[in-house]
Homo-oligomer: A and B are copies of this chain.
Amino acid sequence: MHTLKQVSDLMKAFGHPVRLQILYELGRDEACVCHLEAVTGHRQAYISQQLMRLREAGLVVDRRDGLNVFYSLSNTSISDLLHAAETVAGGVNGTALDVAVTLPTGREVGCCCPKCEPETSPYLERENALTGVCR
């Protein structure tokens, strides 16, 4: 009776499309906030809000590196849960593998963090910025 609430609280954290997208992205590699900003197309404060929820649920951990804060999944079993959810969703509505196709599959979007653009300093001009997210 106690753990039912624990599990349901966990599932609630997954029950949001943007949070799901963040978790999928982090399932591929750790990412800074500005990267998630670029990938999801949402404003920074909004992403930070969702990351706060994911942090409170214990699903992500953060690590600061200079100006950037890099987030990653707290546990590899989280990706297993996501995969199981896709299977159920596929079975429920019949579009079995459509989930994996539509979900983010490659890092075609990038930001100006040292991870995405290791050669540029934040204080140099960057005419090759991919998204314009970084200021």
Residues of A within 8 A of B (CB): 1-12, 14-21, 57-59, 74-75, 77-78, 80-89, 91-93, 95, 98-99, 102-103
What are 24 residue pairs bridging A and B, where the CB atoms are less than 8 Å apart in the complex? A3-B89, A3-B95, A3-B102, A4-B17, A4-B20, A5-B17, A6-B99, A7-B89, A8-B14, A8-B19, A8-B20, A9-B15, A10-B88, A10-B92, A11-B11, A12-B12, A57-B92, A59-B92, A75-B92, A77-B88, A80-B87, A80-B88, A81-B87, A83-B84
Interface of A is mostly: helix
Number of copies: 2
How far, in angstroms, from A93 to B8 measured CA to CA in the complex? Answer: 14
